[in-house]
């Protein structure tokens, strides 16, 4: 996703300023602080499209998955605790009956 983000940025694609896509990018890149994580959580909490909800949950799960499962390291990922918190809150919010 980071490569895709770079390409969109270089082409000055309008999606790079969309709050949803910015939040996805930060979720992949790692959070600088709790304020940033909280801001993204508020953006994701407003998502009503089930496909996008799955996208967000899968992204967090992938980031937090062990290296053996995904094939790349998260060793440089900052604040996994915030990503775990966001994932738990969104799983509870979007839990289907």
DSSP per-residue string spanning 13-62? -GGGG-HHHHHHHHHHH--SSHHHHHHHHHHHHT---HHHHHHHHHHHHH
Domain positions in the chain: 2-93
pTM of the full structure: 0.80
Q: What is the pLDDT of residues 34-92, one digit of tens each?
A: 999 999 999 999 999 999 999 999 999 988 887 556 666 666 678 889 999 999 999 99
């Amino acid at each position: 996703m980071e490569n895709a983000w770079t390409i969109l940025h270089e082409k000055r694609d309008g999606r790079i300023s969309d709050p949803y896509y910015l939040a996805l990018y930060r979720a992949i890149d790692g959070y600088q602080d709790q304020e940033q994580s909280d801001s993204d959580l508020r953006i994701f909490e407003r998502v009503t499209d089930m496909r996008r909800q799955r996208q967000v949950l899968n992204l967090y799960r992938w980031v937090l998955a062990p290296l053996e499962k995904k094939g790349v390291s998260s060793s440089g990922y900052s604040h996994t605790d915030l990503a775990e918190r966001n994932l738990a809150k969104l799983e509870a919010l979007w839990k289907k009956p």
